[in-house]
Amino acid sequence: MCGIVGYIGHREAYPIIIEGLKRLEYRGYDSAGIALFDGTDLKVSKTKGKVAELENRIKKEITSNGSLGIGHTRWATHGVPNDVNAHPHYSNSGDLVIIHNGIIENYASLREELQKRGYTFKSETDTEVLINLIEDVKIKEDVKLGQAVQIALNQVVGAYSIAVFDKNKPDEIVIARLGSPLAIGIGEDEFFIASDASPFIEYTKNAIYLEDEEMAIIRLNKEVKIRKIHDDSLVDPYVQELQMNLEQIEKGGYDHFMLKEIYEQPSAIRDTYRGRLKANQGIIKMSGVEDNMKKFLNANRIIVVACGTSWHAGLVSEYIFEDLARIPVEVEYASEFRYRNPVIHENDVVIAISQSGETADTLAAIKLAKSKGAFVFGVCNVVGSSIARETDAGAYTHAGPEIGVASTKAFTTQITVLTLIALRLARAKGTISSSDFRLHLLELEMIPDKVQKALDSDAYVKTIADIYKNVKNFLYLGRGYNFPVALEGALKLKEISYIHAEGYPAAEMKHGPIALIDDDMPIVVIATKKGHYDKIVSNIQEIKSRNGRIIGIVTKGDKTVKELADHVIEVPETIESLTPLLTTIPLQLLSYHIAVMLGKNVDQPRNLAKSVTVE
Ligand code: F6R
């Protein structure tokens, strides 16, 4: 978590850094700060709160400007969010300044050591310890900044991406990465540094992504020098051309990124299957799957590892893989999997799902599975992310940047990729007839248009949001393929409106949650025509007879549920395995509208961050 930005070159650093921080706020937004070298001195300004507050403060504090600077937007790990704990932090001499994303695990013992040597600390952060360790090494060993950073990092346990500069040497920034992402934008006589490429996309399309355990010395008018932190070997920089454009990371007329991303789903799903699905010819082609077909076909089972919404997409895939390809599937929270000594065999296929490709627990689960010999396949959105690089093979979702903290288009595009894989494997294994296979492909091809139709319910969903916005609890029920959608609907509501919500398999209701039902409790029931329809109608009857208020998500034209429910939201008809792609839409809209009506910060809900790069 935390976003970091830096600039060194011939332009004014401040506007680049402040705009960059705004784009990285999805990574954390409890405090922010900036350090600028104005040509003669170092100016630091930092504050609790969002980047907008930093901007207001800077207007008063920093008048002069310069062409070297670093900035940070924080998601607190060590020390509460306040002005003092906000980054940048500087060393006791006031010469060195640092921004840091990650956690230094052995900071307490390092701090003690440094205190014994006379160092004092203003903040509670691990970062202030690190910058003083660097300073201590620099003085003690009489080395340059780059070497001091390297020696210090070799004493550190934990995860980091950092940027450091010395006010006495304002032509150089030193950066390093272990476990948290870091990109360098290469311009003409200028360099940009950021947690992802969005802060510099309008200045350059050329970027180097640092790998784990790499550091770079970025010096004006010199080539970037990259070396391994631990063994000191030099690394050849690999300059990538970025595909992202500015439009993709702006709101495009929508009030919030979340709404924009909900509405982008028809095109995002189309982008996900573009070039992979040829429905008329009855073909699915995914190079990551084709190249590893033997591994998939010999798999005893598939283990899915993921967190949050991506875990919900994994749960949907359990139904698809088992139903269509007849491969047993286990879906694991990456955070549990990594620590419980799981039984993993060489012929297990592990599928890791992650929008950001940076989730620390998922990354650790992948490393564990690989160490036990499993083949690991990644389903990621962010191209070149840590998980995309760490996995043996994979398939991108191609959803485009997702900036709203609540995941929306990532979920539906993950399901799309997983469906494509399951169908491809089912065909190869012969567990699906050719007519059924063809039917699935044709239906999948029509999904973007159907998602578009599902979005037409927006205004009606808003009226429902208005009725229920002040309740304290919600229950979400679904069965089969739509049980994970119920979990996802509840998560969406919780995270952006702070209303308590639970998702349950509908039939489990009578084993406990039914006790909660009264006329204050809205219950969202996913009751599409395909899949356990009669059973779910019975569940609705049970709720009705206990005065529960029902919001049904139903197939267009449904009559039975309409008679029983207080409200019904229709989605177009499709085959059962694809219903999650449609039933999810009204649930996303419902949580969005409730959160907006309650005045919540939809794109940046409290306590959350988009990329969870700490465990
Ligand atoms: C919920 C949400 C989170 C993420 C989770 C995993 O809306 O966004 O639950 O799904 O943190 O993130 P990724 O997919 O980036 O690994």
2 in catalytic set = yes
Residue 168 CA to chain centroid, in angstroms? 38
Question: Which of 269, 275, 257 lies closest to 584 in space, CA to CA?
Answer: 269
Cis peptide bond N-terminal to 88, omega within 30:
yes
Cα–Cα distance for residue pair 92/101, rounded to 1 Å: 21
Question: Which of 137, 143, 175 lies closest to 155 in space, CA to CA?
Answer: 137
Is the beta carbon of 356 within 6 A of some atom in ligand 1? yes
Question: Which of 513, 289, 250, 292 lies closest to 401 in space, CA to CA?
Answer: 250
Is the beta carbon of 588 within 6 A of some atom in ligand 1? no
Is the beta carbon of 355 within 6 A of some atom in ligand 1? yes
Domain 3-248 class? alpha beta
Give residue 489 CA to ligand 1 midpoint distance, Å: 14
Contact 98, 129 (CB under 8 A): no
Is the beta carbon of 354 within 6 A of some atom in ligand 1? yes
What mean pLDDT do residues 350-355 have?
98
**Tokens at residue 164, please?**
């450091």
Tally of CA atoms within 13 A in the half-sphere of 379 that contains its CB: 31
Fold of 253-432: Rossmann fold (3.40.50)
Give residue 610 CA to ligand 1 midpoint distance, Å: 7
Q: Of these residues, 2, 46, 50, 205, which one is catalytic?
A: 2
Is the beta carbon of 388 within 6 A of some atom in ligand 1? no
Q: What is the pLDDT of residues 5-26, one digit of tens each?
A: 999 999 999 999 999 999 998 8
Task: Encode burial over 260-282: b for 16+ CB neighbours within 10 A, e otherwise.
Answer: bbbbbbbbbbbbbbeebbebeee
Residue 63, pLDDT score? 67
Closest ligand 1 atom to 356 CA = 15
pLDDT confidence bin for 179, thresholds 50/70/90: confident
Is the beta carbon of 381 within 6 A of some atom in ligand 1? no
pLDDT confidence bin for 513, thresholds 50/70/90: confident
The amino acid that residue 450 corresponds to is: K
Is the beta carbon of 407 within 6 A of some atom in ligand 1? yes
Residue 430 CA to chain centroid, in angstroms? 35
Q: Which residue has a Cα nearest atom 11 of ligand 1?
A: 308
What mean pLDDT do residues 368-383 have?
94
Q: Which residue has a Cα nearest atom 16 of ligand 1?
A: 354
Site to probe by mutation for ligand 1, drawn from 612, 613, 614, 615 as the one with most ligand atoms within 8 Å of Cβ, is: 612
**Tokens at residue 408, please?**
């929306």
Give residue 44 CA to ligand 1 midpoint distance, Å: 33
Residue 221, pLDDT score? 86
Give residue 338 CA to ligand 1 midpoint distance, Å: 17
Q: What is the pLDDT of residues 382-441, one digit of tens each?
A: 888 889 989 999 999 999 889 999 999 999 999 999 999 999 999 999 999 999 999 999
Sequence spans of domains, the chain: 3-248, 253-432, 455-602
CATH of domain 455-602: 3.40.50.10490
Question: Which of 102, 157, 101, 169 lies closest to 133 in space, CA to CA?
Answer: 157
Site to probe by mutation for ligand 1, drawn from 26, 335, 356, 415 as the one with most ligand atoms within 8 Å of Cβ, is: 356
What mean pLDDT do residues 535-557 have?
92
Closest ligand 1 atom to 362 CA = 16
Closest ligand 1 atom to 387 CA = 16
Residue 226, pLDDT score? 97
610 in catalytic set = yes
pLDDT confidence bin for 519, thresholds 50/70/90: confident
Contacts 24+ apart (CB under 8 A), 558-561: 558/527, 558/529, 561/525, 561/527, 561/537
Give residue 534 CA to ligand 1 midpoint distance, Å: 33
Give residue 398 CA to ligand 1 midpoint distance, Å: 16
Q: Which residue has a Cα nearest atom 5 of ligand 1?
A: 308
What mean pLDDT do residues 371-378 have?
95
Closest ligand 1 atom to 405 CA = 8
**Nearest-5° angle of CA 43, CA 101, CA 112?**
85
Give residue 605 CA to ligand 1 midpoint distance, Å: 13
- Whether 455-602 and 253-432 are alike in CATH topology: the answer is yes
Cα–Cα distance for residue pair 166/170, rounded to 1 Å: 6
Is the beta carbon of 190 within 6 A of some atom in ligand 1? no
What mean pLDDT do residues 437-455 have?
97
Closest ligand 1 atom to 307 CA = 6
Residue 61 has pLDDT above 80, yes or no: no
Spatial strand order of the sheet with 500-505 comes to: 500-505, 473-478, 522-527, 549-555, 567-571
Is the beta carbon of 397 within 6 A of some atom in ligand 1? no
Contact 68, 89 (CB under 8 A): no
pLDDT confidence bin for 249, thresholds 50/70/90: confident
Residue 64, pLDDT score? 66
Give residue 14 CA to ligand 1 midpoint distance, Å: 31
Q: Please state which of the ranges 47-61, 355-369, 549-563 shows the lowest mean pLDDT.
A: 47-61
pLDDT confidence bin for 530, thresholds 50/70/90: confident
